[in-house]
Amino acid sequence: MKYNIRWIILAIVILASFVAYVLRTNVSIVTAVMGKDLGLTEIHIGLIFSAFAAGYAIFQFPGGVLGAKYGPRLIIALLAVGWGILTLLTAIVPGTDMASVFTVVAMLMVVRFLVGATHAPFFPCVGGSVIANWFPAGGWGLPNGLSSTGLTLGAAATAPFIVWLMESYGWREAIAMTAPFAFVVAGLWWWYVRDYPKEHSSVTPRERELIDKNRTFSEKEQKGAWKQVLLNREILLLTGSYFCMNYVFYLFFNWFFYFLTEVKGFSGTEAGFLTASLWVIGAVGATVGGFACDISIRRFGYRMGPRIICFVSLVLCGVLLFAGAVSESPYLAVTLFCLCFGLTQITEAAFWSTSISVAGRYASAAGGVMNTGGNVVGFIGGTLVPVTAASFGWTAAIATGSIFAIIGAVLWLFIRGDEEMIVPAESSKAA
């Protein structure tokens, strides 16, 4: 068992990912009921969604830098405490009997912005620090894929669970009852997880030797290297493609449940299970993508291996998304959307593994840059989607994602995952 400490660490990462997505997805499930209770329009809801995405995007890079500086053990434990507190604040936002709609929307936007800000550093710290530090080179794909599996399973569990709580107790209680999970994660993370294998008393020399095999970057940090991350060609291209892929992701994250109930006419219970199915397929896609990424990299290297996976997946994603948007059959549309979402998740391991390959010791900061691009689009889409739907209909609003998916695929033709970032010696003198 002591030879497998890294897998126990990964299991805790998966659990934390699961809980993180329960706590960030719960609001999208109660949106329709909450909106009617608080007198919110689709535009109001879009603004609230965009506030989360703004906080999430703005704090990606700073979060990655903090993770590199102070270590993921401290940062993620503190973040999890913040998740719990902000979840409780969401549940007690005043109704229109106590405040105007403008005030209610403003308060929800502030809270959701802070929710986004406290969730932002999680995946840069996980992908760029925990997985990079705890797994050997060439073996980053599967753990990154499984961390994405955790988040998709969390989102899958959220829909039916929150619908049941909401129908049994009310939307406020449904939100509040998820808060304790955050505090459990914070305690478990601080107790067991360490920043490096050498800091964990149960790691054997044999496991450390395995983890360090073929490792080309050191633990020593060069001051000012984060500036090189911001200017690196491969990281910027990865960021552009991740931006495009996540436009599709946010279509589903923000609007899928709402679309099913308010546009397609599904009941809340049926929409809950269909939303869960979407996320389960996403979990399968993330796991398959993790295995496929490591196999493809071993066979074709870090340039062609991730490129093949992402190009094919995103092209197919664009085709299926458009087909689902124009389909007149609700169930066929849902099936195509689920397959489309699964394809987006197949790409996750390739994106994160490539960022580690390129940035090395600075993968946490690189992941922050990439995830900034991947989540700025959530802010844009949160506003663009309802405006497009109001002007041209929901078919056009959803079909816009196809364009982004194809652009994201094309960008992968130029990404060189085997080009390791060089940090000049003079960077060490920079503050």
The verdict on residue 201 lying in a domain is no
The verdict on residue 213 lying in a domain is no
Q: What is the chain's alpha carbon radius of gyration, rounded to the nearest angstrom?
A: 21
C-alpha distance from residue 211 to each of 67, 129, 352 (Å):
20, 13, 18
Instruction: Give the per-residue pLDDT at 2.
Output: 52
Q: Give which of 363, 366, 373 is closest to 57, Cα–Cα.
A: 373
Instruction: Give the per-residue pLDDT at 430.
Output: 37
The verdict on residue 344 lying in a domain is yes
- CA–CA distance, 372 with 293 (Å, rounded to integer): 23
Residues belonging to the chain: 431
Q: Give which of 58, 133, 119 is closest to 363, Cα–Cα.
A: 133
- CA–CA distance, 155 with 426 (Å, rounded to integer): 45
The verdict on residue 150 lying in a domain is yes
pLDDT digits (tens, 9 = 90+) for 223-242: 556 677 788 889 999 999 99
Burial letters 127-136, b for 16+ CB under 10 A, else e = bbbbbbbbbe
Instruction: Give the per-residue pLDDT at 414.
Output: 96
The verdict on residue 81 lying in a domain is yes
Q: Would you give per-residue pLDDT tens digits along the chain (431 residues)? A: 455 899 999 999 999 999 998 998 888 888 888 888 888 887 888 888 888 878 888 888 888 788 878 889 999 999 999 999 999 999 998 887 787 888 888 999 999 999 999 998 898 888 778 888 888 877 788 888 888 888 788 877 887 888 899 989 999 999 999 999 999 999 999 999 998 998 998 888 888 888 887 666 555 555 556 677 788 889 999 999 999 999 999 888 778 888 888 888 888 778 888 888 888 898 899 899 988 998 999 899 989 999 999 999 999 999 999 998 888 888 898 999 999 999 999 999 899 889 888 887 777 778 778 888 887 777 677 677 778 888 888 888 888 889 999 999 999 999 998 888 766 554 444 33
Give burial (CB, 10 Å; 0-12/13-18/19+) of 295: middle
The amino acid at 240: G
The verdict on residue 159 lying in a domain is yes
Instruction: Give the per-residue pLDDT at 424.
Output: 57
C-alpha distance from residue 50 to each of 43, 119, 131, 230 (Å):
10, 14, 29, 24
Quick one: which H or E segment has residue 137?
Answer: none
- Domain at 242, CATH number: 1.20.1250.20
The verdict on residue 208 lying in a domain is no
Distance of CA 135 to the CA centre of its chain: 20
Instruction: Give the per-residue pLDDT at 190.
Output: 96
The range of the structural domain enclosing residue 267 comes to: 2-196+222-422
Instruction: Give the per-residue pLDDT at 221.
Output: 54
- Report H helices in 267-393: 268-326, 330-346, 348-359, 363-392
- How many structural domains comprise the chain? 1
| Cβ–Cβ < 8 Å for 398, 384 | no
DSSP 153-200: HHHHHHHHHHHHHHHHH-HHHHHHTTHHHHHHHHHHHHHH--SSGGG-
